[in-house]
Amino acid sequence: MLEQKNLTTYHNNKLKKLQSINQKLSLQLNTSYSLEKELSQKNENLINQYIHGMKQHVYDYNQLFEKQCFIMELTHRTSSIHTWEWNILESTLEVNNQFFSKLQNDATISMQLSEIVHVNDLKNLVSQLTKHFTKQRNFFECRCRIKYKNQWVWGALVGQVTRTHTKTQEPITMLGIFKNIEKEKRNQDRIEQSVQITQHIDVGIITLDANLNYTDANPFFCTMTGLSKNQITGRGLFDITDDYHTQQRSLHYSITDELLKNSQFKGEFEETFMSGKRISIRCHIHAIKDRDEHIIQYIGIISDLTDYKQQEQRLDYLENYDVTTQLPNRFYYNYKLYQFLITHRENVKKVAIIYLSIDRFHALEEFLGNKITGMLLRHVAKRLKTLNPHAFMIAYLNREEFAIVYELNHLRPSIQQLCGDIIAGFAQPFSFEEQELILTVSLGVTLYPEHALDFDQLNHHASHALRQAQHLGGNTVQYYAQEKNGSYIQDLNLENELRQAIKNGELEVYYQPKIHLKEHIISGFEALIRWNHPRQGLLSPAYFLPFAKQTSLISDIGRYVIEASIKQLKAWELEGLPPVTISINVDPQQLYRGQLLHIIDTFLEKYQVDGKYLELEITESSLIEKTLYVQSLLQQLKQRHIALSLDDFGTGYSSLAYLTEFPFDIIKIDRQFIQNMDQISQKAILNAIIAMGKAMDLKIVAEGVETKEQLEFFRQKECDIVQGYIYSKPLSPNNASDYLKHFLSEQ
């Protein structure tokens, strides 16, 4: 029993130990489970953190990639840069990741490239590729023209081999970029052109720094100044000039001051440079500023005006002086005399105007010929200068006439003594060309203000006195004498009345139709002046024009006729009538007073009328002085498309010469030939005039046609235009309009 009890006790203790061990194992197992669970949780957290981190990294990478792609796209769009890849193994060329062309690296590469690269650039491109493939260059670089959208566009190619064969080292892949440089190339070309122009232009171009020191100068400026570029650059603006004179230094200071104050200068002046060259220049210097309006440099354009100024002086001389005698011509004489009397009216007490004419000049000219006569006139001019050293002016008026203007005072000889000295001075013979000639002269004298205050009147009186001296046989002096009765008083009254008539608008312009024979249309009208006198009624121009031609009134009347005619042309245009021309008679005084062009331009612009509807009739007497001034004036009229007609053709002795020397379009046969055309000699002259005019491609106008016989004659001779009473007398503006409308209705 004891043994059983002990065995039971033993087993119980053993069981307790097992239970205790079991509890410990359970506890450890639970702990292990807890640790395993905790470890598993930690691992899961770490894995989740890793996965999250990888996802964030991938997201960030994608964002960066998209941003880089976007930036690349913007770069392509804004800078015209394109990427290209040449897969040499597969012979493909891709641009911007798109297939572009087949391109093999073999002997046919030039042929393949010719479709996309300009033929003139192929050789250079292949050469640059070869240098890169043979490792002579680290990069492939080339500028060439690429075909883009069927146009050749300049581009810059840059590339590099990125992959080569491991054994043969042959290139396999090449990557690069292409930039469109068309705009830069054009700008570069413009810059190069500008440089070429700057280097070769006949204008001086300079650059100055902000302190007005030369930084550059083109070759022409160096040539112009006679200085080398090294002598110019680095010096101040006027340090290369010779400003010895105080006046020149003052000019330099004023130019510098204007540049510093106004940032520019424009002007013309003469300059002497260190080289000794003295030239006339036109200078334009302008400042170049930065964004903050600070001056960074100056650009200057300097033109050499020396030849131009000399030519201008020459032209001015030719316009104002007679080439033969080297004396002022009539135009300049009138201008200077008028200016002198106006500006010195308060100070001048007495002025003498002497008109001098060589006696029997026409016979002398025929005897000597033109060449020797010209030499004689030069000797006469020289002697007049010697005999009249104190004269205000000695001028050559025309052919044989000269004018001498003296300001008289108590310190100078009397006018009688002056004229006596001139007569005596011509008693000495003229020696030239192994000849001796003794000339006599006639003198006509008028005094200011004793005889007249008006400059035109003074000339008229001097001319009248000269005619009196010539009528007395010449070699004498005649002084203008005012008549207290007779024609002088009558002329004075007429002058006053005519001046009032112009002022009061009593003058009227009538229009006589001119008919084109072949087409039987009105080609135009001739403007003819009338005086609607308040007491005597409508007066013919024969009553007042001869006197008006002796005074300045003829110019006033001419101005009125020009305006009225242009105004009438505009009125007909507004009425819807077909365009016609109006011919206007121009007096010699209008030509030489220098205002004709201005008057015509003023009224053409005022009434908006084209010059082609005007025709100016100029008489042969206006052209006696064949000066360059008259030729220039007529050429300027032609530039305005104004037709020129030689009036009273055939009455002068040198009509043919006028036709060859002056730009006439029309010749107008004088009415005296038509009135006497029943005479064989007159009819022969008419035939000759018409034939000559047609040979010279000039229009022929016959005026004063009154009978059917006369009209038939000109129709048979194919004369262009007829004017006369057989068609119509001169008409008032209203009647002329009605006539034009009626004539149109009959066609």
DSSP-derived secondary structure letter, 613: G
Report the distance separating Cα 623 and Cα 661, nearest Å: 10
| Total Cβ atoms within 10 A of residue 283 | 19
| CATH fold group of domain 512-530+551-745 | TIM Barrel (3.20.20)
With CA atoms as reference, report the closest residue to 380 among 395, 363, 362: 395
> What is the CATH code for 80-186?
3.30.450.20
Give the predicted TM-score (pTM) of the model.
0.41
Report the distance separating Cα 739 and Cα 523, nearest Å: 13
DSSP-derived secondary structure letter, 106: S
The beta-carbon contacts of 692-700 under 8 Å, at least 24 apart in sequence, are 692/656, 693/667, 694/718, 696/659, 698/659, 698/664, 698/665, 698/666, 698/667, 699/665, 699/666, 699/667, 700/666, 700/667, 700/669
Q: Which residues pair with 381 in a beta bridge?
A: none
Report the distance separating Cα 301 and Cα 206, nearest Å: 7
DSSP 387-444: H-TT-SEEEEEETTEEEEEEE--TTS--HHHHHHHHHHHTTSPEEETTEEE---EEEE
| Total Cβ atoms within 10 A of residue 37 | 10
Give Cα separations from 191 to 196, 649, 723 (angstroms): 9, 62, 66
| Total Cβ atoms within 10 A of residue 534 | 11
With CA atoms as reference, report the closest residue to 722 among 735, 713, 731: 713
Q: For residue 126, how far is the Cα from the chain centroid?
A: 52
The beta-carbon contacts of 167-170 under 8 Å, at least 24 apart in sequence, are 170/88
By the 10 Å C-beta count (0-12 exposed, 13-18 middle, 19+ buried), 228 is classed as: exposed
Calculate ∠ Cα 398-622-384, nearest 5°: 10
What lies within 8 Å, CB to CB, of 238 at 6+ separation is: 252, 255, 256
With CA atoms as reference, report the closest residue to 710 among 722, 697, 700: 722
Mean pLDDT, the chain cut into blocks of 10 residues (747 residues total): 57 64 68 67 67 63 57 54 85 82 80 86 90 90 86 88 85 88 75 61 84 89 88 89 76 88 88 87 88 87 82 73 89 86 72 92 82 90 92 91 88 84 88 78 89 84 88 82 48 72 90 92 93 84 78 86 95 92 90 87 95 90 66 91 85 60 86 80 83 88 90 91 92 92 76
Q: Which residues pair with 614 in a beta bridge?
A: 582
One-letter identity of residue 526:
E
Helix (H) or strand (E) holding 226: none
Judge whether 600 and 541 are in contact, CB under 8 Å: no
May I ask the CATH class of domain 311-475? alpha beta
> What is the CATH code for 201-304?
3.30.450.20
| Total Cβ atoms within 10 A of residue 332 | 21
For the chain, give every residue range classified as CATH 3.20.20.450: 512-530+551-745
Report the distance separating Cα 404 and Cα 130, nearest Å: 92
Query: What's 162-189 look like in SS3?
Result: EEECCCCCCEEEEEEEEEECHHHHHHHH
What lies within 8 Å, CB to CB, of 96 at 6+ separation is: 76, 82, 83, 84
pLDDT value of position 251: 87
For the chain, give every residue range classified as CATH 3.30.450.20: 80-186, 201-304
Per-residue tokens: 518: 């072949």
Report the distance separating Cα 263 and Cα 298, nearest Å: 8
For the chain, give every residue range classified as CATH 3.30.70.270: 311-475
Judge whether 711 and 726 are in contact, CB under 8 Å: yes
One-letter identity of residue 425:
G
Q: Residue 597: CA atoms inside 13 Å, Cβ hemisphere, count?
A: 14
Preceding amide of 449 cis, omega within 30: yes
With CA atoms as reference, report the closest residue to 175 among 81, 73, 85: 85
